[in-house]
Amino acid sequence: MHKVLEVQELSFGYTKEKLLFENLSFSLKQGEIKAIVGESGAGKSTLFELVLKNLQPLHGKVLQSSKISQVFQDPYSSFHPSYTLLNQIQDVASLENLDSVLKSINLEKELLYKLPHELSGGQLQRASIVRAMLMEPELLLLDEPTSALDNVIQLEVMKNLVSHLDTMGILLITHDMDLAQWCADEVIKI
Domain residue spans of the chain? 3-189
Residues of the chain with pLDDT under 70: 148
pLDDT score at 170: 96
Under 8 Å between Cβ of 34 and 185: yes
Q: How far is CA 26 from CA 43, 98, 132, 169, in A?
A: 15, 33, 23, 13
Of 1.10.443.10, 3.30.9.10, 3.40.50.300, 1.10.150.120, the CATH number of 3-189 is 3.40.50.300
pLDDT score at 163: 84
CA-to-CA distance for 135 and 7, rounded, in angstroms?
A: 23
pLDDT score at 155: 80
pLDDT score at 147: 77
pLDDT score at 72: 87
Those residues with Cβ within 8 angstroms of residue 91's Cβ, 6 or more apart along the chain or in another chain: none
